Amino acid sequence: MPSKQEPRVLPPTLGGASLVDFSPPPEPSIAHDIRSLIPQLRGQLLQAAEAILANPANVALLSMRSMAATIGVPPITMVRLAQRLGLSGYNALRQPYVDLMKSSAAGNLKQARNVAIHAQTRGTEKFIAAFFEAEQSILGQTLASLTIDALQSAVKKLAHGRQVFVIARRSTYPVAWGLAYSLRKVRPHVKLLGGGNEGPEADLFDCGPEDVLVAISLAPYSRLTKFAADRAADAGASVIAITDSLSAPIATVAGHTFVTNVSSNSFPESLMGLSALANLMVALVVSELGETALDRISATDRDIIENGEFIGTLRR
């Protein structure tokens, strides 16, 4: 069974359900000190403190200047906030968040142990049943989190944008690969970022306001994926985030954020919800483009067959 969580409930969504932020970001102990200090703060100091509490992952991922720019305050404000907490400077405030991010990155071993223990104590048959029950639960929770207006808006961007870029790292990369592959069969100018030896800055060089970036990232969040999302947003492109929390770093620059639970008996985490969201978006893009999509799909499939890709087909 999936681990119990205390999700945050947000406004009503598809079918009258509630949007659930499945993975409220963890916090270091210093967050308690910041909360205690907030009643004494005003102006930019209050703005900075509230932003740190709302986006703990950003504190770990961003430099002081980048964090200040994201909040909209001068860098000196970050230093003054740290000093109000009795710290020597901003680095002392930031370090607990960095340490927590590193600790989260080591969570694979903990999850592997939990999976092994559950399988050994329950027995294979019961573990299999619990595994599929947890995966099915993730699909239901992901459906409950969807808002139809946001989904339709994102699909129109994916269907009609000049270019579509897709990026993910590590365990989420297969979802990005599948999304990019399927979209390429439906429409032209789809690019999966991160191939070869170049970073996403090279791939996004000609990214502009008519383009779309789909960024997929789970805790502990990828710095490279966040960089690509920032780069696309700065270029005026639409950013669509698929992640596990509304407070994920990529969500701060996304026009649309879609969240899913990833906690189950899978290792290192379940990709069921991510894959379902990606597949759903492609299906709706096919519907949005209609005959244009069908003609392209027919042409690409014919080309694949004629090139002898499949057993029983011959190159002409």
| Shared domain check, 245 and 149 | yes
Q: Are residues 65 and 193 in the same domain?
A: no
pLDDT at 27 over 80: no
Same domain flag for 142 and 291: yes
The Cα-based distances of 310 to 181, 303, 315 in angstroms read 17, 11, 10
Total domain count, the chain: 2
d(CA 64, CA 2): 37
Over residues 269-286, the pLDDT tens digits come to: 889 999 999 999 999 999
Please give the Cα distance from 306 to 7 (Å, whole number): 51
| DSSP-derived 3-state class of residue 115 | helix
Separation CA 220–CA 290 (nearest Å): 38
Is pLDDT of 256 > 90? Answer: yes
In-domain check, residue 288: yes
Of 27, 306, 11, 268, the C-alpha closest to 145 is 11
Angle between helices 291-306 and 272-289 (to 10 degrees): 110
Q: What pLDDT score was predicted for residue 225?
A: 93
Give the pLDDT score at 7.
Answer: 42
Residue 311 domain-assigned (yes or no): no
Task: Find the CATH number of the domain harbouring 35.
Answer: 1.10.10.10
CA angle (203 as vertex; 201, 204 as ends), nearest 5:
65
CA–CA distance, 87 with 212 (Å, rounded to integer): 41
Distance CA 245, CA 84 (A): 30
SS3 172: helix
The residue-averaged pLDDT of 220-235 equals: 91
Residue 276, domain extent:
138-306
Q: Does the structure show a pLDDT above 60 at 316?
A: no
Does one domain contain both 66 and 186?
no
- Measure the CA–CA gap between 96 and 151, rounded to whole angstroms: 36
How much is the pTM? Answer: 0.70
pLDDT at 4: 38
> At residue 122, does pLDDT exceed 70?
yes
CA 119 → CA 136, 137, 263, 265, 267, distances in Å?
18, 19, 16, 9, 12
181 and 245 inside one domain: yes
For residue 46, count CB atoms less than 10 angstroms from its CB and return exposed for 0-12, middle for 13-18, buried for 19 or more: middle
To 5 degrees, how large is the angle CA 140–CA 146–CA 151? 135
